Amino acid sequence: MFLHRRCPEASTSRNLPRRLLPIATLIITCAPGLAGSLDNQACSAERSGRPNVVLIMADDLRCELGCYGSPARTPNIDRLASHGVKFRAAFCQQALCNPSRSSLLSGLRPDTLHLWCNSLHFRELRPDVATLPEYFKRQGYVTRDVGKIFHNWHTRAKGDRQSWSAAEFLYYANHGDDRPLVSGPPPADLATAPNCRRCEVPDEAYYDGRVADEAVRVLEEIKGQPFFLAVGFWKPHAPFNAPQKYWDLYDRDRLPPLDGRRPTGAPDVAFHDSRELRGAPPHQRDFTRDQAAEMRHGYFANISYMDAQVGKVLAALERDKLTESTVIVFLSDHGYHLGEHTLWGKTSNFEFDAHVPLIIAPPGGQRAGESTDALVESLDLYPTLVELCGLPPAAGLEGKSLVPVLADPRASVQPAAFTEHPRPAYYDRTPAGVPEAMGYSVRTARVRYTEWRAWSTGKLLGRECYDHPGDPAELHNVIDSPPDPSALSQAVALLHQQFPPDVPPAKR
């Protein structure tokens, strides 16, 4: 349980923005109802008026959480949501690990970074960027990284050492190498579908179990000072190889059936060849109905496995009486397709890929357990955490602080959220090394509107409009007959304001 009691020495306003006080009364609190004196070290952040931050990231997690109405079994993340504010309309800036994470952690859009692929480290393009953890480090926080936060496995030697106060842990790895690490003979694999493994092994046999254990250890090490701890879980990213007990949580036949229909009227450029799971041409594989069902089952098992690891981190925060002095954030880098729209994996502008879970739990929050439909973007997290912790505003950020929404979930800070993606999706692996097209997408409260433009000329190649909430699965491109023409006109204007049509993507 998340506990609440005010720390006697804590000032209720020192170093905190005035409009934060209705949320946090105070952000600076300690654990209640406990006999004896409080742990002095655990209260150091409160006394300084600077809450800690724990940022928990999942990889490839679409909004499949119990608290979002999914059949996914996620009791730990659901519990966190009951103590924070759940954002129902949060969207990533690009549905690919490196661009998404680089944007989120720099507070800059992919177009500003000129980063739309996995093979470039953002420091190669913008060495001067002060990342979110680096900014906190400059403000006197201890910053630590456990697991996959930046997408650095292509650049093992570099990592992003300047963002952290100590060496990163398990930030470098390849998802395909996450095989069960056990003593003795390898366990039997009961899975039959591609990209799946189903073994009776402990949680620590895979990356995420070890990430959770290390995060708990690091918390013990740093809890006596203001800290920013980033915990990056590798799941539910493929392979779908959670330990057997998490597969056993689900009856495959009772999971939502796959609707694999391609949206009517959608241009070909909106799609991709799903090579992440199907393999690259000319050796691509198709999945049988049973294989697709097993892979979808495995994705849900991975989610529950990841949720259990999140639970270990939350339990450590509670045990050390840190929940009342810590801002806890949970989010995903982007969404995912599991056969919908004929697609597997990410790299599209559709809702399944762009929509992400986001939960922010300030300590002592008066809005605990509430939800908001405010349109927000992943890059909003940077200015939000800066303001929540009472730090000086960081210059040059492109996101908006969500503190007004945390104070009043009915509030809004922006009229739209933007996502983009190039074609080919993995253009950096082609001989040309540059995109042929870029898709720019805007999500308003009513519609998703997307323009596909030629990379070198900006010529319009195709348009899409999906009417929400009438068509939440985005199965009908109604660009030629929108149910609400005014909503489409507004979306077009917002998209053109953010991404002017007269500027070719190559020249941004």
Q: Would you say 201 and 186 are in contact if contact means Cβ atoms under 8 Å apart?
A: no
Please identify which residue in the block is written with the tokens 């000032």.
11
**Measured CA distances, 95 to 49, 147, 162 (Å):** 36, 20, 26
Three-point CA angle 278, 283, 287, nearest 5°? 35
* CA angle centred on 411, ends 405 and 413, rounded to 5°: 75
**Cis peptide before 282, with omega less than 30 degrees from 0?**
yes
Which residue of the set 7, 30, 63, 97 is catalytic? 97
H or E element that contains 489: helix 485-498
Catalytic residue among 4, 83, 121, 151: 151
DSSP at 476: B
Phi, psi (degrees; rounded to nearest 5) at 88: -85, -10
121 assigned to active site: no
Tallying the residues shown for the chain, one arrives at: 508
Contact partners, residue 279, CB within 8 Å, separation at least 6: 285
Question: What distance in Å separates the CA atoms of residue 223 and residue 251, rounded to the nearest whole number?
Answer: 41
97 catalytically annotated:
yes
Torsion of CA 345, 444, 113, 159, to 10 degrees: -50
Largest CA distance in the chain: 70
Distance of CA 481 to the CA centre of its chain: 34
Structure tokens at 54: 């724990």
Q: Are 249 and 349 in contact (CB under 8 A)?
A: no
How far is Cα 211 from Cα 76, in angstroms, rounded to an integer?
16
Positions annotated as catalytic residues are 97, 151
